[in-house]
Structure 1
């Protein structure tokens, strides 16, 4: 009995110990993260400042001792003012928007406890994505995640931000109303010419294809037969395809017609057969894309194919999209999915931003440091192993802070895009926005110096250690410009271009264009570099930066051209480099023989550079319009507190993209009024000369990714933005452009409503059918309560709007709004948009006034 008791007592103690450990491990003090409550107490719009309370709760089992801990984070708007901090807390802006608070003196934080302190800021966090992100605590031994809660709802002065309400959204959607589905189009972007009858026919399950042409069958085999079979197997995998020898046997007639221009096509669906005519790979591909939209609408609506005749061609030969994968990285599968989206809507140039200050995303054989260091972000003491954290990448890089495309990845992407009639344009920043490459090559230099290889260390160096130049980039970096006075910088550039060109050769894809970026070169660069001062006029010290920079650009141009490509860059590299920075409008005397392609991007309404694209085209440059005020998907739609993106170029909504006329941006009186552009201002601007219209080769949309920190945000900022842009890039100039107000406004708003109906009722459901994993933007609905009745409007007719009356966030089973409903005085109405797959957007409360 005594032995049993001893055994019981021993086991009971072990059992109690295990239970205690279990409960202790679940207690708040044993979490692996701390918590920051960032509470905005006051917003002072007049003085551009906030009063904020930081409350830090130590949820870990570790005590944070004074002088041994600090908090680190990124924040786009609302930098703390050091002088407003309590004694013992010290603020440091490391570089860019990477901030640190160091705690000394009596500022310790024991496990399970909290501390609070107030701080004033320079700048206002007007939207949540612009606030603190990616926080972590650094102790003497480790880094710990800092989960952040932003409390803004009770801030004094919040009303000064004029945040959108359900009522203002309802008012803004005044001209949006639902149209019968049988009255709207089948295809986006809108075909040049289309006519249809009310009758339908059954879809073709098996295609018996007959080819007819003025050319020989051998030529057809080379041009279209194999690609046609590949396209059909990809786009219509369930279709049986066979070639027949007579038109009588055929239900699908394919014509090779020299009368059609590049990328143009003819598509006709008749009762007994289908006709496709084209003169190019691109035209054939787009004809099948249009037919696929028709086919999938028929499936979704459980109907036949329409009897329809389409003659279609693009308005612009260049229809581009640029994605920044340097700030945040999304991987090869997502890039291929974007290629598919572009192809679906007939875009043909994919400009990939592969490097910038915050990341280098392409493997370059022979320069492993570019990806070993430049493709990673996180906590670092000296950036010898990674870049500093930016855009919320935290201590370890998180979901999208790290990563790169291997050589094989890039080759695969080139080949995939080629099959979709899309040209990939690599964009690698030189000499500005180059911090990632500079830091990577600094690490290479230091590594080789430590090994005693002095010559190798300097071979590809990009910075002068003795450079005392003082400058600050728009993104607040003081070290992001490559030194163009060092031969090693050009050796680096030549190596990079040669390796990229080799990837194109291996992929069997034409290397057509290489983008250098070259935007936002800070004023003051190189002025304090001994290498630069000694490189001109002997040792006199007379430094002509304009000549120096132009000579460097000429060398870059020669390097790119030696590999058979053309150099492109943002408009900045053709403008005089001056203190005016973004306000500069004067073209350089150096024109590079007009053998470069400038992308005109910086055209904020009222900023004086709206007409820069026309100045460049009139001067003789082949140009691409990349307007920030119309084609930047990262410009937030409005100032909603939840909206992702920036707003330095104003708020850019879907209407801004759709309503612009690239060949005359002031032609739309509604846009002029919206952005407060007066006739006397317009009269002083440069117009595109009719004789130079061909120099405006096309338009490009951009998605910069400072706030795009996961795939879901990427999808919401990409779709339906990309579709709206594609309409403007492909479709002919709308008839209403030639009208004057108020006729113009009436016709335009009618067409805008029509387009929104096509988008919401047909295009977005088809996109979901093809890409069910994509969750696109679902805008907050508009709603008002008048005479005890709830009225609701949606941005895209066809989206579901569900509602609750108890203040809860509506879900998939909440009541569906279909018509005005009676509301009681104590009801708390909340609205939320849903797509056809019942994915939900952000909710919004409707106030009872």
Structure 2
């Protein structure tokens, strides 16, 4: 029988996978670097451990002398067990859960040109490559030397227990996906509320003679639509000639200001002799033109005219958000503006930017230069007086995305750019949890000013109590990432940050609407060992406890934000009782902050007990956003493929999980319930969204946390088409099939899912590539089987090209295109590749 292999490369991204569980070597070789070969000999899932061989080759000209060198690296899964480490090597897990160091003693010199090898056992299994060792470097003689890391895992005993995806399993999983005729599929994503089916076409409109009509005054039109319309057309349709005309008879484009339409709604009609756009808002006008632009670019790509079509469209949710974590890894202003463009294309309107966390502070704050001088840099450091410790593979000097920040001017520019795209920027700066970057930065400021004799200045913005003996561990195993809320200087710091951020909004002439404090995963036990807090609690005759102390602090933060006209938002945790239950806590605290805050409900792992937290919050009276980790976290890996980026603590989340969920009733989809083993008795014990409280669920938000997103290419692959699938659920009306019961529901749903995949693969992704040719989006791996000497192939997105070779070579753009089943000889070695 023929050998079958399939490989996958992201638009020529050289990270190579053989689906039949072979990998191509893509590791660079350079004799100016040292090399770490990390070989997994055995995987023991039962005991959650691995047998690993370290081989370090010194390809430099420098001798690594005994007692004078150390190996540093980051690794998310697979911490060395101390008792397994050879004598003469000391192991240290530096603060946090993934920065490891081996210090080599008397018997471990490594001369130039030589290698050393030793074996260890780990706790934790590196189940995917992005979770393994990265950012390795050697420190010797007060200098750091980067290492190339090669991971060898293909021959590991116990590998089969990981149940890695194969070409066959992918083929089977795609059994309900089939190609549809292109004339039968939609022109616009996200799906409009109402659209006629095109039957004929007209020529593209190259020159627009625009006539305006409204029951309102011309002054109102000039303010609301005319100037924005001209700016939008010049940006979205730069080749179009635009002129205003004074009569309908002269016009081929009619623009209407219609008070009957709701916010962000629009009417778009393409007729044989003219085009009509009606709206009542800036957002509605912008989205009408975005829809017309999709139609126009499809027409160009398919060499056809515009369809004769009528569209009435409005969003299902007023809040349609995306959050990007730029604290763990930083991507720069141009990339953020590109993301704004992508969001605008698919009608998302809130961009929540995670500007600080334990591993980075990414916004310039005038008057607090240490936040970016220290907090925006990672790398090798002996005391963190100059930078933060390496994390997530940032290496000795920060790597490609470990360093950097937005200047004040950058942020103002971003605010203005987003405003023009009908997008609200929400700054999220962590307080009091996930605040290690700010704490370390202010510690450095304190030490610097103390050395200068400025005691008052040193304490003005201090965030930590040097005498604090509190014992705690955060979710990421930090023991120093919570700001001390008993210190007045902590609030001085917060007020200063909010004041400077508000000033940036004023300078940008953009409304300051919302400020996110994060406040998730606050470790239990914080502050209890601080003398300052102890005196504060026990010195109060009313017996204030730490829960009340925290609530009082949150009230102060809320007041600080409201002073500048904004609303405080945060992750759901800050509205839950702070207890030893940690992330399994489900009880709302008594303090409700007058229901004037916006919680984001995120920790919704299936069968985790908090799937319904978003409904509890909405029913209680909070304006709430669903940020469901098991549906809307782009950083949850699609599956357990060895190449898959992202984490999986909330399960594997694929495109179907995002598309198939109903935000107003997450248990309404019988297929998802079955997939995640949700039974009726479990559902019966959960809280459902009350019909009278539906307006409190103001929208949904997708998230991309970036622990494994260490370059721009990975960012793009995890963003697209995830963002498009999410936008469909955020904008489009509730699907009709959701009200059906199984098995009718499943049949109708799978039919619509296949339809959406066809639209995505045949029209939306080609249009996106036409507009953003530089973006390297995700191309799901093809599935394939050989049966009766015949090759059968399936693709997740009909319309993607799959090319193949029969000699074991890697297919390229000139290789044969798979279009139908083909006969295979017994000695053929079949290799598939998506394009």
| TM-score, with structure 2 as normaliser | 0.96
CA 1:740–1:58 in 2, change beyond 3 Å: closer, same or farther? same
Residues 207-245 of structure 1, C-alpha deviation per residue, up to 9 Å, x if partnerless? 000000000111101111000000000000000000000
* DSSP 3-state at the match of 2:3: helix
Range with bigger deviation, 443-452 or 5-14: 5-14
Q: Distance in 2 between matches of 1:761 and 1:531?
A: 63
Residue 524 (structure 1) aligns with: 525
How far 1:20 moved relative to its partner? 46
What secondary structure is seen at the aligned counterpart in 2 of 1:7? strand
Q: Which has the higher contact order (CA 8 A, sep 6+)?
A: 2
Cross-structure match for 1:804: 805
Q: Deviations over 1:257-279 (max 9, x none)?
A: 00000000000000000000000
Mapped contact 2:804–2:818 kept (Cα < 8 A):
yes
Shift of the alpha carbon at 1:813? 2.0
The Cα shift of 1:380 comes to 0.3
- Deviating more after overlay: 298-307 vs 9-18: 9-18
Q: Which whole-Å deviations, capped at 9, do the CAs of 1:700-755 have from their partners, x for residues lacking one?
A: 00000000000000000000000000000000000000000000000000000000
Q: CA deviation at 1:364?
A: 0.1
Distance 1:808 1:584 in 2: 54
* Matches of 2:385 and 2:70, distance apart in 1: 21
| Structure 1 residue 21 displacement after superposition | 44
Task: State the shift of 1:12 in Å.
Answer: 48
Determine helix, strand or coil for the equivalent of 2:352.
strand
Q: Report the equivalent of 1:174.
A: 175
User: How far did 1:31 drift?
Assistant: 3.1
Number of residue pairs matched by the alignment? 834
Check conservation: 2:333, 2:406, Cα contact below 8 A.
yes
Partner SS state of residue 228, structure 1? helix
Quick one: distance in 1 between partners of 2:4 and 2:291? 83
SS of the aligned residue for 2:320 comes to strand
Distance of 1:6 and 1:198 partners within structure 2? 40
Is the 8 Å Cα contact of residues 340 and 420 (structure 1) preserved in structure 2? yes
Asked if the contact 1:378–1:394 (Cα under 8 Å) also holds between the matched residues in 2, the reply is: yes
Does the Cα contact within 8 Å between 1:29 and 1:59 map onto a contact in 2? no
- Please say if residues 355 and 429 of structure 1, whose CA atoms lie closer than 8 Å, have aligned partners that are also in contact: yes
SS in 2 for 1:401: coil
2:220 partner SS: helix
Deviation, structure 1 residue 827: 1.9
Measure, in 1, the Cα distance between the counterparts of 2:83 and 2:822.
55
Are the counterparts in 2 of residues 29 and 60 from structure 1 also a CA contact under 8 Å? no
- C-alpha distance after superposition, 1:314-355 (max 9, x if no partner): 000000000000000000000000000000000000000000
User: Which 4+ residue blocks in structure 1 deviate beyond 6 angstroms?
Assistant: 1-30, 539-543
Tell me the distance in 2 between the aligned counterparts of 1:182 and 1:458. 68
Q: Deviations over 1:596-627 (max 9, x none)?
A: 00000000000000000000000000000000
* Residue aligned with 1:6, SS: strand
Tell me how far apart the structure 2 counterparts of residues 480 and 108 of structure 1 sit (CA, whole Å): 37
User: Cα 1:204–1:111, aligned 2, differ >3 Å: closer, same or farther?
Assistant: same
> How far does residue 808 in structure 1 lie from its aligned partner after superposition?
2.6
Deviation at 1:201, TM superposition (A): 0.1
SS of the residue corresponding to residue 199 of structure 2 reads: strand
Given that 2:210 and 2:255 are in contact with CA atoms closer than 8 Å, whether structure 1 keeps it comes out as yes
> Is the CA contact (8 Å cut-off) linking 2:5 and 2:20 kept in structure 1?
no
Asked whether the 8 Å contact 1:68–1:139 carries over to 2, the reply is yes
User: 1:210–1:577: structure 2 CA closer, same or farther, 3 Å change rule?
Assistant: same
Q: Distance in 2 between matches of 1:661 and 1:275?
A: 33
Displacement of 1:13 in angstroms is 47
SS of 2:489's equivalent?
Answer: helix
Shift in Å, 1:806 = 2.5
Assess, with a 3 A threshold, how the Cα gap between structure 1 residues 575 and 314 changes in structure 2: closer, same or farther.
same
CA RMSD of aligned residues (A): 8.9
Whether the 8 Å CA contact 1:323–1:351 is kept in 2: the answer is yes
Secondary structure of the 1:534 match is: helix
CA distance in 2, matches of 1:512, 1:779: 38
Task: Using the TM superposition, give the Cα deviation of residue 539 of structure 1 relative to its aligned residue in structure 2, in angstroms.
Answer: 8.1
CA change 1:827–1:485 in 2 (3 A) is same
Rate the CA distance shift 1:541–1:199 in 2: closer, same or farther, 3 A: closer
For residue 252 of structure 1, report the CA deviation from its aligned partner. 0.2
Distance between the aligned counterparts of 1:198 and 1:260, measured in 2? 27
Query: Is 1:326–1:360's contact at 8 Å kept on the other side of the alignment?
Result: yes
SS of alignment partner, residue 121 of structure 2:
strand
Report the Cα offset of residue 5 of structure 1: 65
CA distance in 1, matches of 2:427, 2:320: 16
Q: Which moved more, 1:798-807 or 1:548-557?
A: 798-807
1:17 alignment counterpart = 17
Q: Is the contact made by 1:534 and 1:540 (CA closer than 8 Å) also made in structure 2?
A: no
1:829 Cα deviation from its structure 2 partner: 1.8
* Bigger shift: residues 134-143 or 639-648: 134-143
Counterparts in 2 of 1:478 and 1:105: CA distance versus 1, 3 Å: same
* Deviations 1:382-422, CA, capped at 9 Å, x for gaps: 00000000000000001100000000000000000000000
91 and 8 in structure 1: CA distance in 2 versus 1, 3 angstrom threshold: closer
Structure 1 distance, partners of 2:358, 2:19, is 51
The CA deviation string for residues 792-819 of structure 1, in whole angstroms up to 9 with x for no partner, is 0001001000112222322222221111
1:31, 1:61 within 8 Å by CA — same for their partners in 2?
Answer: no
Per mean C-alpha deviation after superposition, the further-off stretch among 96-105 and 822-831 is: 822-831
Seen in structure 2, the aligned counterparts of structure 1 residues 118 and 16 have a Cα distance that, compared at 3 Å, is closer
Answer whether contact 1:327 1:359 (CA < 8 A) is retained. Answer: yes
TM-score (norm 1): 0.94
Rounded Cα–Cα distance in structure 1 between residues aligned with 2:155 and 2:463: 49
Cα distance change, pair 305–478 in 1 and its aligned pair in 2 (3 A): same
CA contact (8 A) 1:718 1:776 kept: yes
Displacement of 1:18: 45
Alpha-carbon distance between aligned partners in 2 of 1:290 and 1:8, rounded to the nearest angstrom: 32
What is the distance in 2 between the residues matched to 1:51 and 1:559?
53
When Rg is computed on C-alpha atoms for both structures, the one with the higher figure is: 1
Q: d(CA) in 2 for partners of 1:176 and 1:8?
A: 19
CA pair 639-30 structure 1, distance change in 2 beyond 3 A? closer
Q: 1:820 to 1:730 in 2, by over 3 A?
A: same
Tell whether the 8 Å contact from 1:24 to 1:30 is kept in structure 2 after alignment: no
Secondary structure, counterpart of 1:26 in structure 2: coil
Q: Is the CA contact 2:139–2:145 (under 8 Å) kept in the aligned structure 1? A: yes
The question of whether the paired residues in 2 share the 8 Å contact of 1:28 and 1:59 is answered with no
CA contact (8 A) 2:263 2:281 kept: yes
Equivalents in 2 of 1:735, 1:411: separation in Å? 42
* Preserved CA contact (<8 Å) 1:384 1:443: yes
Q: Name 2:766's counterpart in structure 1.
A: 765
Contact 2:5 2:18 in 1 (8 A): no
- Aligned partners of 1:799 and 1:331: how far apart in 2? 31
Judge conservation of contact 1:30–1:60 (CA < 8 Å) in 2. Answer: no
